[in-house]
Amino acid sequence: MVKVPAPGTSQTCHQCGHRDPASRDGTRYSCANPACGWAGHADTNAAINIRDATGTAVSGRGDLGAARSAKRQPPRAA
């Protein structure tokens, strides 16, 4: 587990690094840097910034998808 400061992760463009609170409009993010102009979901932008800050993939499951889902039923015996 690596702690990443959350403030600003959804206001900073993951493409060019430009930070502007006005770039985030609800769930949408549009980079205010005219040379970049990346647009997408604000949470996706924040997740990419967090991933880049930690150098690892982000997963809510904690196992990074390496094992099967905890909700999956075990295979039935033949």
pLDDT reported for residue 25: 86
pLDDT category of residue 8 using cuts at 50, 70 and 90 = confident
Q: How far apart are CA 46 and CA 61, in angstroms?
A: 18
**Mean pLDDT score, 38-54:** 88
Helical H segments across 1-78, by residue range: 42-54
pLDDT of the residue at 4? 72
Q: What is the pTM of this model?
A: 0.62
pLDDT at 31: 92
